[in-house]
Amino acid sequence: KNEVEQSPQNLTAQEGEFITINCSYSVGISALHWLQQHPGGGIVSLFMLSSGKKKHGRLIATINIQEKHSSLHITASHPRDSAVYICAVGTSGSRLTFGEGTQLTVNP
């Protein structure tokens, strides 16, 4: 069992829908990262958080340290949001442990 579990693995939505991707982890962490991998392969950091909630445009990330759970929400989804979303947790030092990713497809 992976130390970082994401759900769902695949998600298809219609444009405009509210989307939630979940991440659960089983280890103590210093911070949690949400990453976006575009269809072309590049990886972009969306959020880094260690408590509470962060918002950037239509994206919202929350974390509950006690429950070892984080969610990434996308409001008013758009086809350009189609990508793989990856949760990663920072443990000791420089180590990041990754989830397997969630493939999101938003249809027009």
Partner 1 sequence: DTAVSQTPKYLVTQMGNDKSIKCEQNLGHDTMYWYKQDSKKFLKIMFSYNNKELIINETVPNRFSPKSPDKAHLNLHINSLELGDSAVYFCASSQDRVAGNTIYFGEGSWLTVV
51 phi/psi in degrees, rounded to 5:
-165, 155
Using CB under 8 A as the binding rule, whether residue 91 contacts partner 1 is answered as yes
CB contact at 8 A, 89 and 101: no
Per CB under 8 A, does 44 bind partner 1?
yes
Query: Site residues for partner 1, window 18-37 (CB under 8 A)?
Result: 29-31, 33, 35, 37
* Type of residue at 99: G
Question: Residues 1, 99: contact at Cβ < 8 Å?
Answer: no
User: Which position among 18, 95, 105, 107 is part of the footprint of partner 1 (CB under 8 A)?
Assistant: 95
Q: Please count the residues of this chain forming the interface with partner 1, following the rule CB under 8 A.
A: 26
Q: What angle do CA 103, 104, 107 make, to 5 degrees?
A: 140
Residues of this chain that interact with partner 1 (CB under 8 A) are: 29-31, 33, 35, 37, 41-45, 48, 50, 84, 86, 88, 90-96, 98, 100-101
